[in-house]
Chains A and B, each alone.
Chain A
Amino acid sequence: MSKGLPETRRDAAMSELVPEPRPKPAVPMKPVSINSNLLGYIGIDTIIEQMRKKTMKTGFDFNIMVVGQSGLGKSTLVNTLFKSQVSRKASSWNREEKIPKTVEIKAIGHVIEEGGVKMKLTVIDTPGFGDQINNENCWEPIEKYINEQYEKFLKEEVNIARKKRIPDTRVHCCLYFISPTGHSLRPLDLEFMKHLSKVVNIIPVIAKADTMTLEEKSEFKQRVRKELEVNGIEFYPQKEFDEDLEDKTENDKIRQESMPFAVVGSDKEYQVNGKRVLGRKTPWGIIEVENLNHCEFALLRDFVIRTHLQDLKEVTHNIHYETYRAKRLNDNGGLPPGEGLLGSVLPPVPATPCPSAE
């Protein structure tokens, strides 16, 4: 709607757009250079409002995966993050239930709404990860699941009659829980992150951070960071995708100081200083989850939800998914890239799974 206030005169930067090559142009673009002032208010900036309304109407999808050994507090953390009973906790399992023999993938979907924004949240749990005696290749089912989601999206996208909005089940973010040993990363952690950092955004998280003192925490974090760097593991936010200086400085700060976030999760409330806070009650005090002095949960929450949620989705869509797609269209077909329609149609998927040697 019209804002009613005419804008002050601005100098519009009228630059010419370079003529672009088109396959069969009716008329090539003629570059025109103009220098003139915008007199009066047009109303172009209302497009922001229009866009916002549209996106609020359609709602958002967000798929988050939690990976870590049993008992590290994954479900509790997810519940704390989204302030609701998103996952059933493992402790509520029947004790007689066996530990799963292989890594299972359990995806649970919820709809949450806040401030008029509807979000379809899917939490993907991986019980059984790292719990066996022999944990070789236990990341494979996870990798397979992630690739399956990409495959599903790709198939939908390649259809002739496409849906208006392709349901997005791709994993946008993977929280990897590091056990707070205080020493360094385990080989399993390194292997997992090495394999998966190329297909999905991994955010390493130090679980049950209340077992470490402040010095131990910072030392541990430094060691973890160093090890990740030495092993060439690019966790989110990836350095190579920083676009401008502003991004770089901000993300550098996060990468070098805060990550991996040392978190504590809880869904119980206690009374502290006259306020009800989420926390863990211990004989020596109450650990407040959202207190920045106690743990970094609030940083994680802000990072994932309040500032980088859309970016997580975008990196997944524009980079990881595109990589998968390019690889998929290139493989077993040897089709020439991008030459006309026939050159880029999906070839059949090979029946034999590729052995993961590395």
Chain B
Amino acid sequence: MARPANLFGTRPLVLCRVRREPDPPPAEALGSTPAGGHVAPIKREGVGARSRCRWPRAKAECECSVALTERRGSPAGVCGERPGAAMAVAVGRPSNEELRNLSLSGHVGFDSLPDQLVNKSTSQGFCFNILCVGETGIGKSTLMDTLFNTKFESDPATHNEPGVRLKARSYELQESNVRLKLTIVDTVGFGDQINKDDSYKPIVEYIDAQFEAYLQEELKIKRSLFNYHDTRIHACLYFIAPTGHSLKSLDLVTMKKLDSKVNIIPIIAKADTIAKNELHKFKSKIMSELVSNGVQIYQFPTDEETVAEINATMSVHLPFAVVGSTEEVKIGNKMAKARQYPWGVVQVENESHCDFVKLREMLIRVNMEDLREQTHARHYELYRRCKLEEMGFKDTDPDSKPFSLQETYEAKRNEFLGELQKKEEEMRQMFVMRVKEKEAELKEAEKELHEKFDLLKRTHQEEKKKVEDKKKELEEEVNNFQKKKAAAQLLQSQAQQSGAQQTKKDKDKKNASFT
């Protein structure tokens, strides 16, 4: 028994005859309304009629004064619970001493309480969800039709489905003043594939999805559980093919996967193909196989006297060998549901022909409420526990000190925040690094450019200088040439002159010589 988290060390409330001083206030006195408004109470929309029983008003005289002391020898036991555990928070104080059994000296009238409770449920209606798992063509739809005495219209499924699909359909049935919201979920395409490895997966997913939806609703802040349409599967009818030998491995695997999630009731379908003696052997083979493989099928409850007997006798006949039929055949002088063969008529409701009546008794007339309760109290709680533990919430830590949900939550939250921060840091650092890199690159490029520019500039300068030099040279040459030219001209002119003189001289000379 998980101990409830006792957060603040307050002395837990002990409901016994002890004077209790007011506690130190750890819990906020939430009754005080915040300034101004007040939290609107949650409206009860659509809830069924108030659970009242229409009992006659009190008569004027006092009712019978017979002391109704009906202590049936129960030791100060508390309403079906373990004594001592009723006062859940009572620490170490056995409450069966403190709670005394009182004898009533008159008729009080609270024995109408079950009626009040039931009336309310009646007006609100009940939910019942059945899952039918079985191969295509094994008779699931027919059996449902037969069980509920109507024709749920549906087209027979084909055999070439690529995978297992679940088809859910809902109906509202009414009988006397009881309204039942019946949901029938069919597995379409089960057992048709060549590779059946994953056949069970859609089924498990569907069941989990229903639990999840309920869990989500339960965990909401503003929730309305009292008019929540419960879609969790209450009973799973597993249809076993009437081979006469044993269970198929697909059956075993599927049932093993489902037994912790849903109440499994195995039934042998199309039981009119098996002869009586073979049937007996087949049944015992199946049951022994189930036991040896550790498959937990639904156990009909035997703890309440009124139903214990019938449940015990019926359990012997598990798995029920059923025949379904919606056609009526005239037998004797009345019409009955039956299947007509050339060699005879198989009557559905004849107990010596098949176990249909037993199935109907067990499923609907005796244990419907128990199936619903088991689904909620066992399978759903298990799912919830696993789911919450998966999320990391625990009730006790390794030192088996009770963890509160708050502490776990805080721890997880801090963890997440830390991770978040770390990630943020990482990202930031990466970003900074990238920026730096880019910057460095850019700087490099810039430097290169500068260098190039310098180089170019220098080159340009050099070229310019060269050109200038050349120009100078050229100019010099030109100058020289000019000079030379000038000089040459002068020389020429001088030479001409001197030439003329020379020739004159020469002439003179010549003349002189002649003479």
The residue that B23 contacts in the complex, of A148, A314, A348, A357, with Cβ under 8 A, is A148
Contact with A59, one of B29, B49, B80, B112 (Cβ below 8 angstroms): B80
Please give me the residue from chain A that is nearest to B30 by CB atom.
A147
Q: From A243, which residue of chain B is reached at the shortest CB distance?
A: B47
When the two chains form their complex, are residues A116 and B4 in contact, meaning their CB atoms are under 8 A apart?
Answer: no
B316 at the interface (CB under 8 A from A): no
Say yes or no: is A133 at the interface (Cβ < 8 Å to chain B).
Answer: no
Given contact pairs A39-B149, A338-B219, enumerate 17 new A-B contacts (beta carbons under 8 Å).
A16-B170, A25-B209, A40-B149, A44-B364, A45-B176, A46-B366, A109-B87, A120-B99, A151-B27, A155-B5, A158-B405, A198-B38, A275-B62, A310-B117, A325-B221, A341-B391, A358-B35
Binds A, one of B102-110, B192-200, B276-284: B102-110
The interface residues of chain A lying within 8 Å CB-to-CB of B150 are: 12, 14, 34, 36-39
Chain A nearest Cβ from B339, distance in angstroms? 17
Contacts of B368 in A (CB 8 A): 44, 46-47, 50
Determine if B116 and A311 form an interchain contact, defined as CB atoms under 8 angstroms apart: yes
Among the stretches B70-78, B456-464, B471-479, B507-515, the one at the interface with A is: B70-78
A230 interface residue per 8 A CB criterion? no
CA distance A25 to B25 in the complex (A): 46
Using known A-B contacts A17-B170, A45-B176, determine if residue A346 contacts B405 with beta carbons closer than 8 Å. yes
Determine whether the beta carbon of B361 is less than 8 Å from that of A2.
Answer: yes
Interface set, chain A 250-302, CB cutoff 8 A to B: 269, 275-278, 288-293, 298-299, 301-302
Q: Is the CB of B79 within 8 A of A61?
A: yes
Given contacts A106-B19, A155-B4, contact A17 B172 (CB under 8 A): yes
Q: Which residue of A lies closest to B55 (CB)?
A: A306
Interface centre among B95, B112, B361 (most CB of A within 10 A): B112
* Residue from the list B100, B221, B388 in contact with A329, Cβ < 8 A: B221
- Chain A stretch 98-130: residues in CB contact (< 8 A) with chain B: 102-120, 122
Interface residues of B in 39-78 (CB under 8 A from A): 39, 41-44, 46-55, 57-58, 60-63, 65, 68, 70-71, 76-78
User: Complex Cα distance A43/B39, Å?
Assistant: 44
Within 8 A of B (CB), among A316-332: 318-320, 322-331
Evaluate contact between A302 and B175: CB separation under 8 angstroms.
no
Q: Is the CB of B377 within 8 A of A164?
A: yes
Which size bracket describes the interface of B in this complex? 35 or more
Q: Are A320 and B41 in contact (CB under 8 A)?
A: yes
Q: Which of chain B's residues have a CB closer than 8 A to the CB of A311?
A: 50-52, 116, 120
**Residues B50 and A46 in contact, CB atoms below 8 Å apart:** no
B272 smallest CB distance to A (angstroms) = 21
Indicate whether B441 reaches chain A with its CB closer than 8 angstroms: no
A351 touches B26 (CB 8 A): yes
What residues of B have a CB within 8 angstroms of the CB of A161 in the complex? 2, 381, 385, 395
